[in-house]
């Protein structure tokens, strides 16, 4: 186990920017995720940690050891590649044992360690199968076993679930988390899937265009996104513009385009300095916090006309036009009649659920 530090790391490919000024400290034993859309620099950052790319600037350390210029085989990291990169002509056992043979571990120990790891990832009895005789999920577990068998200090996973179908993805997500908790291994996980990131990680680094947007726990980045990009990338949200029309103590009143006034945005919810009257701000309001109201007027109640309703069994989702703005809401089905397109509706936006988003 080891902590990992990236100290103001940059990677440029010729003139093209790969990643810029990544500055993070990942704790020993932490499950840390790089999250962001395709092309934002997740793989580039992971490859620098593995030693497949060297930074243009900056330093990388494992614990107190500097590894910035060390080649991959001197770093004791185990990596699972997005396409697994297994040896198709070799058996499961040969694939898993390969890393140990390269490290000149004797035959008896190699066999013992490979069998132990096969048991850990639930591949017992599959040792003699060829890779092309395995399902996608089994291949994924071979890739994981191959990374773990060398007993790495740091496990690096690059979109390890992207080739699996939805159901298997969820099961495997749980398996990876179980292994990580059992082994207590420092794990860096790359994904573009926010649900995967939220459900597995201790902390998440959200990236866009090679730049770090926010680092925090799933709870922090969900409830306190630092900007519009993070707010809309992590889960669904309503982004509403409004004008600050009053400040009372710690609480800010905001008028939205429809004329409704929302109160209760916390002054200290802004990562900027204090908000001032008259300025335009963006608020983030999560659909699950907006609730159907029995009234159409009142404190933090907005009214509008239902544009679309979805009944999923467990939930009732509305898209409502409030003036010219859409408001998405999502409620647990409590057995009330479901409103239809064109019906008028009142929606309550609890003040604790209004966040500043820029
Ligand atoms: N070997 C390379 N040569 C040139 N550009 C690269 C190379 N690897 C990555 N890039 C560029 O760096 C950026 C980040 O890529 P990448 O780290 O693969 O993104 P992600 O894994 O988040 O999808 C992209 O613009 C990509 O085109
Ligand atoms: Mg990638």
pLDDT in tens, 241-263: 999 999 888 889 999 999 999 99
Q: Does residue 280 share a domain with residue 185?
A: no
Whose CA is closest to 114, among 139, 89, 87, 146?
A: 146
Q: What CATH number is given to the structural domain containing 50?
A: 3.40.50.300
Confidence at 168, pLDDT banded by 50, 70, 90: confident
Q: Does residue 148 share a domain with residue 73?
A: yes
Q: What angle do CA 207, 213, 218 make, to 5 degrees?
A: 85
Reply yes or no on whether the pLDDT at 211 is more than 90: yes
pLDDT computed for residue 267 by the predictor: 76
* Residue with CA nearest ligand 1 atom 14: 41
Query: Three-class SS of residue 13?
Result: strand
Pair 281, 358: CB distance under 8 Å: yes
Ligand 1 atom nearest residue 158's Cα: 21
Q: Quick one: which ligand is closest to 159's CA?
A: 2
Span 160-168, average pLDDT: 86
Structural domain harbouring 110? 4-232
Instruction: Kindly state the percentage of the chain with pLDDT values over 70.
Output: 98
pLDDT computed for residue 232 by the predictor: 86
pLDDT computed for residue 337 by the predictor: 92
Q: Does residue 215 share a domain with residue 68?
A: yes
Q: Does residue 185 share a domain with residue 105?
A: yes
Q: Does residue 176 share a domain with residue 278?
A: no
Q: How far apart are CA 200 and CA 293, in angstroms?
A: 35
Interval 89-143: pLDDT, tens: 899 999 999 989 988 999 999 999 999 999 988 899 999 999 999 998 999 999 9
Span 278-283, average pLDDT: 92
Span 312-327, average pLDDT: 95
Q: Does residue 243 share a domain with residue 128?
A: no
Query: Three-class SS of residue 50?
Result: helix
Q: Does residue 212 share a domain with residue 268?
A: no
Backbone torsion region of residue 58, taken as left when φ is above 0, otherwise alpha when ψ lies between -120 and 50, otherwise beta: left
Distance 221 CA to ligand 2 centre (A): 21
Backbone torsion region of residue 356, taken as left when φ is above 0, otherwise alpha when ψ lies between -120 and 50, otherwise beta: beta
Q: How far apart are CA 124 and CA 144, in angstroms?
A: 14
Pair 212, 22: CB distance under 8 Å: yes
Sequence-distant (≥ 6) Cβ neighbours of residue 63 within 8 angstroms: 2, 3, 28
Pair 31, 179: CB distance under 8 Å: no
Who lines ligand 1 at CB under 6 A?
13, 16, 18, 36, 38-44
Reply yes or no on whether the pLDDT at 269 is more than 70: no
* Residue with CA nearest ligand 1 atom 20: 39
Confidence at 152, pLDDT banded by 50, 70, 90: very high
Query: Three-class SS of residue 210?
Result: coil
By most ligand atoms within 8 Å of CB, the mutation choice from 6, 12, 18 for ligand 1 is 18
Residue ending a domain, choose from 206, 232, 258:
232
Supply the pTM of this predicted model: 0.86
Q: In what order do the strands lie in the sheet with 344-348?
A: 291-293, 344-348, 301-311, 315-322, 325-332
* Residue with CA nearest ligand 1 atom 11: 18
Distance 40 CA to ligand 1 centre (A): 7
Q: Quick one: which ligand is closest to 207's CA?
A: 1
Confidence at 273, pLDDT banded by 50, 70, 90: low
Q: Does residue 322 share a domain with residue 217?
A: no
Give how many domains the chain has, as a whole number: 2
Confidence at 30, pLDDT banded by 50, 70, 90: very high
């Amino acid at each position: 186990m080891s902590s990992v530090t990236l100290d103001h790391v940059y990677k440029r490919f010729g003139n093209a920017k790969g990643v810029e000024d990544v500055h993070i400290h990942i704790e020993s034993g932490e499950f840390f995720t790089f999250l962001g859309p395709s092309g934002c620099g997740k793989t580039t950052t992971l490859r620098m940690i593995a030693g497949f790319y060297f930074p243009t600037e900056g330093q990388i350390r494992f614990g107190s050891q500097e590894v910035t210029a060390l080649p991959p085989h001197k770093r004791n990291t185990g990596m699972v590649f997005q396409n697994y990169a297994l040896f198709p002509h070799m058996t499961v056992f040969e694939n898993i044992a390969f890393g140990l043979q390269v490290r000149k571990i004797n035959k008896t120990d190699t066999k013992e360690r490979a069998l132990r790891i096969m048991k850990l990832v639930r591949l017992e009895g599959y040792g003699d199968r060829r890779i092309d005789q395995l399902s996608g999920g089994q291949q994924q577990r071979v890739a994981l076993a191959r990374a773990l068998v060398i007993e790495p200090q740091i496990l690096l996973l690059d979109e390890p679930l992207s080739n699996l179908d939805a159901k298997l993805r969820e099961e495997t997500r749980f398996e990876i988390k179980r292994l990580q908790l059992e082994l207590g291994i420092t794990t860096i996980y790359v994904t573009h899937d926010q649900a995967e990131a939220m459900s597995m990680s201790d902390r998440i680094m959200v990236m866009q265009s090679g730049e770090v947007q926010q680092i925090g726990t799933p709870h922090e980045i969900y409830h306190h996104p630092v900007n519009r990009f993070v707010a809309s990338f992590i889960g669904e949200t309503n982004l509403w513009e409004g004008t600050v029309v009053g400040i009372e103590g710690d609480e800010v009143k905001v008028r939205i385009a429809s004329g409704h006034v929302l109160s209760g945005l916390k002054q200290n919810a802004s990562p900027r300095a204090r908000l001032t009257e008259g300025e335009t701000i963006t608020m983030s309001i999560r659909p699950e916090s907006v609730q159907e109201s029995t009234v159409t007027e009142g404190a933090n109640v907005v009214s509008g006309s239902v544009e679309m309703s979805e009944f999923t069994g467990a939930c009732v989702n509305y898209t409502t036009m409030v003036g010219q703005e859409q408001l998405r809401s999502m409620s647990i089905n409590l057995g009330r009649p479901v409103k239809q397109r064109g019906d008028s509706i009142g929606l309550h936006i609890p003040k604790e659920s209004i966040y500043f988003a820029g």
